[in-house]
Amino acid sequence: MPVDVRLPTILRPSAGGRGTVTAEGATVGEVFEDLIRQHPALRDQLFTPDGSVHRHLTIFLNDDDIRYLGKLDTKVGETDTVTLMPAVAGG
pTM for the structure as a whole: 0.92
Give the model's confidence band at 1: pLDDT under 50 very low, under 70 low, under 90 confident, else very high. confident
Could you please state the CATH topology (level 3) that the domain comprising 2-86 is classified under: Ubiquitin-like (UB roll) (3.10.20)
Taking residues 25-35, report their average pLDDT. 97
The runs of H, that is alpha helices, within 1-91 are 28-38, 43-46
Long-range contacts of 21-25 (CB under 8 A, 24+ apart): 23/82, 25/1, 25/76
- What is the rounded end-to-end Cα distance, in angstroms, of the chain? 41
What is the mean predicted confidence (pLDDT) over 76-91? 87
Which tens digits make up the pLDDT trace of 36-80? 999 999 999 999 999 999 999 999 999 999 999 999 999 999 899
Domain ranges across the chain: 2-86
Q: Strand pairing partners for 82?
A: 5, 61
Identify the pLDDT of residue 87.
82
